[in-house]
Amino acid sequence: MNVKNETRVNVFEHVDKEKYLIFGYTPTCGTCKVSERMLDIANEILKLPITKIDLNFHPDFSQQHEIQSVPILMLMSKGEEQKRIYAFQSVPYLLENLK
């Protein structure tokens, strides 16, 4: 059985990059799983650096960024939030909003 033991990750690992993504989710969220799959497909094309964080382990991050719900996708540039997406809708929608 392959159990992923996930705890805190480095949210700032791509902070020096011009464009990167932070995907916030919780493991019990079904919509998050669907959204993550759409994001993975879109990012096969975009090839952006991405950090996926289980927000259960990052209450400080959630509070600091006033995250209202999951899933959340944040388009970042050098540590600054450029855009946030809560409703992923479709792969073409993600591609359009992230390029």
pLDDT at 3: 39
Kindly state the tokens that stand for 8: 């805190």
| Tens place of pLDDT per residue across the chain (99 aa) | 333 445 678 888 899 999 999 999 999 999 999 999 999 999 999 999 999 999 999 999 999 999 999 999 999 999 999 999 999 999 999 999 998
Instruction: Identify the residue whose tokens are 């991405």.
Output: 50
| Beta-carbon contacts of residue 38 (< 8 Å; ≥ 6 apart) | 88, 90, 91, 94
With beta carbons less than 8 A apart as the criterion, state whether 84 and 74 touch: yes
